[in-house]
Amino acid sequence: MDQFVIQGGTTLAGEVTISGAKNAALPILFAALLGNGKSIFSNVPQLRDIGTTEALLKTLGAEVKWHGDKLEVDGSTVDKVLAPYELVKQMRASVLALGPLLARFGQAQVSLPGGCAIGARPVDLHIRGLEKMGATIVVENGYINATSSGRLQGADIYMETVSVGATENLLMAATLADGKTVLENAAREPEIVNLAECLVAMGAKISGAGTHRIEVEGVEQLSGCEHKILPDRIETGTFLVAAAMAKGEVLCHNTDHQSLEPVLEKLRDANALVEVQQDSIYIDMRQRELKAVNIKTMPHPGFPTDMQAQFTAMNVVANGSATITETIFENRFMHVPELQRMGANIRLEGNTAICGDTEKLSGAQVMATDLRASASLILTGIVAQGETVVDRIYHVDRGYQRIEDKLSKLGANIKRRHN
Ligand SMILES: CC(=O)N[C@H]1[C@@H](OP(=O)(O)OP(=O)(O)OC[C@H]2O[C@@H](n3ccc(=O)[nH]c3=O)[C@H](O)[C@@H]2O)O[C@H](CO)[C@@H](O)[C@@H]1O
Ligand SMILES: C=C(OP(=O)(O)O)C(=O)O
């Protein structure tokens, strides 16, 4: 298994180009299953999760081809409706095949994704929403078996928890349902807006994406489309936090500040100089005192849970004490014991991490447990004294395109070791 070996104590300076967003690309690639034609997606990040999605789409019969950073998916050749455990277990987002397959073919068999290191992550809202649209769903032998007699029916669906994945699955299913669907208490993440724009380009009728209430008027069929994946706000945030922790200055290109405001606000509270342009963000932390900041994760437009681990690491390096409260996932503090092994002064109380002043951070062998936890360990390794070895970096490769190349270009001493 690959490891990262980091020699700490460097600063970070320079420019970095942000890749397309994993969390937009995944639902959008599954949306291609709805279209009876070729779709071409640009700004697709080269990630392990995208490779898994590609494998799953091919298993379902789609033709998939890369042209540079463009991915062509031909939905017209899809002729299978089984998403097998071997692929779904590698990536929870595979459950997003369910809505499109059921809506287009009247049946789908998708392995239950199960939980992961950050929490149980049930899919009850996805299932209940599809049942409301007339599907019959039986969960047995680890599979969600869904059928509908004829087309799905438009419905009024209230989701009791704000869920990104459930909103996406139901939105996709509703595009080919008979009549109107209203999704209430929908998630408002920018990735949902990007998905809705893609679906509209395929011929769907959608209004209200980005608000709590999304309305969809079902259409007969969808075609292929050309669509650009929006920039990855979490990758951007990770590089901005890295710069703040290393007391450096970094300019992120090909990004979007609007989707990152809750994160930029916290970086300003931490005393960073942050300047935004149309598609770039600059951060300068040189000769400035980094201050710890209180964080509480919330659905968008609140502070994103996917930036929580990175801010926990930042607070460890910062002056003063602050609390980090995680409200989205019940077990998203797996990075804390690893950071403690590097000397971090953090105490966990329920869903809150209390970060105090840390005297010294020293390199250590640490284990990545999930994607963003891994990022927090890498950032801490860059500022710790001595050598840090991060194990199980396949988690990082799920969601960051060659993070070591981008960090090295900024001055970090980080190498991938093949074991
Ligand atoms: C591929 C992708 O886009 N992943 C993101 C997506 O994950 P994902 O879509 O899995 O996350 P959700 O928004 O669905 O989860 C939010 C909360 O709702 C709960 N829940 C969800 C569905 C359901 O049927 N029942 C239920 O109880 C979850 O356990 C969790 O506590 O949004 C998360 C929250 O912003 C992010 O951390 C992930 O990076
Ligand atoms: C939790 C994440 O992703 P996923 O939902 O794909 O596990 C993430 O991107 O931080």
Alpha carbon distance 128, 123 (integer Å): 9
**pLDDT of 114:** 76
Residues 277/318, Cβ–Cβ less than 8 Å = no
CATH of the domain at 310: 3.65.10.10
Which residue has its alpha carbon closest to ligand 1 atom 16?
A: 163
- Order of all β-strands in the sheet with 63-67: 63-67, 70-74, 38-42, 226-228
Asked if residue 142 and residue 14 are part of one domain, the reply reads no
pTM: predicted TM-score of the whole model, two decimal places: 0.98
Write down the residue that tokens 């999704």 correspond to.
183
Count other C-beta atoms under 10 Å from residue 417's C-beta.
Answer: 12
First to last CA, the chain: 5
Which of 203, 228, 253 is the C-terminal boundary of a domain?
228
Residues 2/394, Cβ–Cβ less than 8 Å = yes
Residues 7/407, Cβ–Cβ less than 8 Å = no
**Residue 371 Cβ < 6 Å to ligand 2:** yes
**pLDDT of 378:** 98
Alpha carbon distance 196, 209 (integer Å): 6
Which residue has its alpha carbon closest to ligand 2 atom 1?
A: 306
Ligand closest in space to the Cα of 129 = 1
Alpha carbon distance 75, 108 (integer Å): 15
355 labelled catalytic: no
What's the one-letter identity of residue 401? Q
Alpha carbon distance 198, 33 (integer Å): 12
CA 332 / ligand 1 centre spacing (Å): 12
**Residue 188 Cβ < 6 Å to ligand 2:** no
Asked if residue 186 and residue 56 are part of one domain, the reply reads yes
Ligand 1 pocket test, pick from 128, 163, 334 with the greatest ligand atom count within 8 Å of Cβ, gives 163
Asked if residue 184 and residue 330 are part of one domain, the reply reads no
How confident is the prediction along the chain (419 residues), in pLDDT tens digits per residue? 899 999 999 999 999 999 999 999 999 999 999 999 999 999 999 999 999 999 999 999 999 999 988 999 999 999 999 999 999 999 999 999 999 999 999 999 999 997 788 999 999 999 999 999 999 999 999 999 999 999 999 999 999 999 999 999 999 999 999 999 999 999 999 999 999 999 999 999 999 999 999 999 999 999 999 999 999 999 999 999 999 999 999 999 999 999 999 999 999 999 999 999 999 999 999 999 999 999 999 999 999 999 999 999 999 999 999 999 999 999 999 999 999 999 999 999 999 999 999 999 999 999 989 999 999 999 999 999 999 999 999 999 999 999 999 999 999 999 999 98
Which range marks the domain in which residue 98 is found? Answer: 22-228
**pLDDT of 267:** 98
Asked if residue 192 and residue 263 are part of one domain, the reply reads no
Which of 166, 200, 228 is the C-terminal boundary of a domain?
228
Residues 32/64, Cβ–Cβ less than 8 Å = no
Asked if residue 93 and residue 149 are part of one domain, the reply reads yes
How far from chain centre, in Å, is Cα 196?
17
309-336 CB burial, b ≥16 within 10 A, e <16? bbbbbbbbbbeeebbbbbbbbebbbbbb
Asked if residue 349 and residue 222 are part of one domain, the reply reads no
Alpha carbon distance 273, 241 (integer Å): 12
**Residue 16 Cβ < 6 Å to ligand 2:** no
Asked if residue 179 and residue 156 are part of one domain, the reply reads yes
Contacts of 167 (CB under 8 A, 6+ apart): 159, 183, 186, 187, 192, 214
Ligand 2 pocket test, pick from 95, 371, 374 with the greatest ligand atom count within 8 Å of Cβ, gives 371
**pLDDT of 68:** 87
Asked if residue 388 and residue 253 are part of one domain, the reply reads yes
DSSP string across 209-225: BTBSEEEEE--S-B---
**pLDDT of 116:** 83
Asked if residue 344 and residue 216 are part of one domain, the reply reads no
Asked if residue 387 and residue 403 are part of one domain, the reply reads yes
Which of 228, 257, 288 is the C-terminal boundary of a domain?
228
Which residue has its alpha carbon closest to ligand 1 atom 1?
A: 23
Contacts of 349 (CB under 8 A, 6+ apart): none
pLDDT in tens, 302-358: 999 999 999 999 999 999 999 999 999 999 999 999 999 999 999 999 999 999 999
Looking at the 3D structure of the chain, how many domains does it have? 2
Asked if residue 214 and residue 84 are part of one domain, the reply reads yes
Asked if residue 239 and residue 154 are part of one domain, the reply reads no
SS3 at position 46? coil
